[in-house]
Chain A
Amino acid sequence: MSLPNERMGVEQQLLVCCARICMDSAHAERIRLLLQQTINWPFLLQIAHYHGVMPLLYRSLQATCPEEIPPATLDKLRDSFRTNLVRNEILARELLTLLDLFRAQGISAIPFKGPTLATSAYGHLSLRQFGDLDLFVPKCDLLRACEVLVSQGYRVNDQVHHRPGGDLLRAKYHPFVGQDGLVRVDVQWMIADSQFSFHLDHEDWRASLVPISMTGMSIFIFSPEVVLLILCVHGSKHLWTKLQWLCDVAELLRAYPKLDWERVNAYARRFGSQRMLAVAGLFAHDLLGTTLSTDVLERMKQDKVAQLLVGQLRSQLFMAGDTIPGAVEPSFFYLQMRERWRNQARYVFRLCVARDPIITGRASRSLPVSLTFLYYLLWPILLIGKYGLRSQKLKITISQWLERMG
């Protein structure tokens, strides 16, 4: 049994103990012990909100020892739980309405995360915090899906994305916001950025759909095997900086004890996501005590890099916003997360392209310091790729660069 240890603050330990649907006796006892200490309640509520586990905190404290919680704090938690429940109900109903509209137009749209994950993995809409609806729509249906949203009063959420003159089909994410500003919908034809190489083709996603019942209606979502990998990629993309993303993995594994691991591993191998899967599994096991079968756990433990990354991620989970000596640099992490050199090389190449404002026309993204030399090696190739070998523009750009270098 893994329990949060004293290297974390008392509030963080409490949060980790409470971040679960099924409270076992060991975690319940640890909660009671922790509550004997002085708790900074405003801080606990603040981190619970940030980490997206406010509903779980309320539910676990309410079920374990409500008499130990200051009444004003319990009221605040309850208010927050109620507000989250109402917002989630509104979003879930809106999702059902949109799915009906898409279906009527012959558009395939598959919801993921949001209300469907709350229902399928957490068992109830109220137990997960989410703020928008994520919809996967195949590229061939994308334009029509956007048109349906616009016909319902949705508009492109300019505050998130603004691409004047941008090509609609080039962009992977299309954020919309409803008329009343309450509902945000993210339409995407790729599950993750191309750097994660997570491409579900038509047959993949069609074959992986399973029905669930949400607020009394039957809808299709991705199978738990695919959802697990989506969660692994999503958590990796955000460097697992929120406890909620680990809870998503933990609750999905709890809700589907008969998960087809052969299928999970086959997908992970194909997408080069085995290390992301190992990091997610080991992190959830290590921090939340998620149960994994011996062979699955052993397989994950064989990946020593994954174990190292979990150690680093765990040490910085509750340090958001702080300066962390030795913190995992995002680009270094992304590089380490790929087990195949091809994916690593592709990622470095993309970073070089993104670094160059001449190539991208926008601000640069940084390479890991140790790989900066690659930018200078690749830069001439990138320029030739953009302008062509004999172009006048290439000559001008190189002479300007030489002048700048003195």
Chain B
Amino acid sequence: MFSLNSTVQPHPEVVDTDLDGTEVVLLHLENKTYFSLNVTGRRIWKGLKEGQSLQSISQHLCKEFEIDADRADQSVLSLIQELANHELVQLKE
């Protein structure tokens, strides 16, 4: 389980490619699986790559997508959990 205090980073075997500026495709080079992120997911992924904390990413979501803090927190945590389930992210040591 992740919390907003967790520090998460992209898995080193994952590469990402932007698709039309509206979607980002994540590819796990080891197990050859891929995952597609929508606009919100793309913003969360960008934050992870920049080394932002989950708390900070959630605050950016609130501002950019004009959503309330609870919903932003929930979006961030549920996506991170799903990415972790597919080994696309890992806890930063």
7 chain-A/chain-B pairs, Cβ below 8 angstroms: A62-B20, A82-B23, A82-B36, A85-B17, A86-B27, A90-B27, A180-B32
A182, B27: Cα distance in complex, Å: 15
Q: Is B15 an interface residue (CB 8 A)?
A: yes
Indicate whether A116 reaches chain B with its CB closer than 8 angstroms: no
Query: Count of A residues near B, CB < 8 Å?
Result: 13
A152 at the interface (CB under 8 A from B): no
Min C-beta distance of A397 to chain B, whole Å: 55
- Assess the B19–A82 pair: CB atoms within 8 A: yes
**Is B25 close to A, CB under 8 A?**
yes
A126-B19 contact in complex given A85-B25, A86-B27, A86-B34, C-beta closer than 8 Å: yes
A/B pair count, beta carbons within 8 Å: 27
* Contact of A126 with B32 in the complex, beta carbons under 8 Å: no
Instruction: With A82-B19, A215-B15 as known contacts, state yes or no: A90 contacts B25, CB within 8 Å.
Output: no
Q: A85-B25, A90-B27 are in contact. List 4 more A-B contacts (CB 8 A).
A: A62-B20, A125-B17, A126-B19, A215-B15
A76 in the interface, Cβ–Cβ < 8 Å? no
By the criterion CB–CB under 8 Å, are B17 and A126 in contact? Answer: yes
Partner of A90, one of B19, B20, B29: B29
A126 to B19, CA, bound (A): 9
Chain B, range 29-63, C-beta contacts under 8 Å to A: 29, 32, 34, 36
Is A173 interfacial (CB-CB < 8 Å)?
no
B residues 74-90 touching A (CB-CB < 8 Å)? none
Give the interface SS of chain A, mostly helix, strand, loop or mixed: helix
Q: How many chain-B residues does the 8 Å CB contact rule pick out?
A: 11
Interface residues of A in 223-244 (CB under 8 A from B): none
Q: Is the CB of A89 within 8 A of B17?
A: yes
Assess whether A82 is in contact with B29, with CB atoms less than 8 Å apart.
no
Query: Which of chain B's residues have a CB closer than 8 A to the CB of A126?
Result: 17, 19
Q: Does A93 contact B (CB under 8 A)?
A: yes
| Contact present for B32 and A85 (CB under 8 Å) | no
C-alpha gap A85/B17 in the complex (Å) = 8
A residues 85-114 in Cβ contact with B at 8 Å:
85-86, 89-90, 93
In the complex with contacts A81-B19, A82-B19, A93-B36 CB distance below 8 A: no
Output the least CB separation between B29 and chain A (Å): 6
CB contacts (< 8 Å) of B34 on chain A: these are: 82, 86
Give the one of A62, A85, A180, A182 with max B CB within 10 A.
Answer: A85
The 0/1 profile, CB within 8 Å of B marked 1, for residues 63-90 of chain A is 0000000000000000001100110011
Q: How far is the CA of A93 from the CA of B36 in the complex (A)?
A: 19
Among residues 316 to 357 in chain A, which have CB atoms less than 8 Å away from a CB atom of chain B?
A: none
Complex CA distance for A283 and B88, rounded to whole angstroms? 46
Q: Which residues of chain A are within 8 angstroms of B29 by Cβ–Cβ distance?
A: 90, 93
> Which of A81, A86, A90, A125 gathers most chain B CB within 10 Å?
A86
Which residues does chain B contribute within 8 Å of A86, judged by CB atoms? Answer: 25, 27, 34
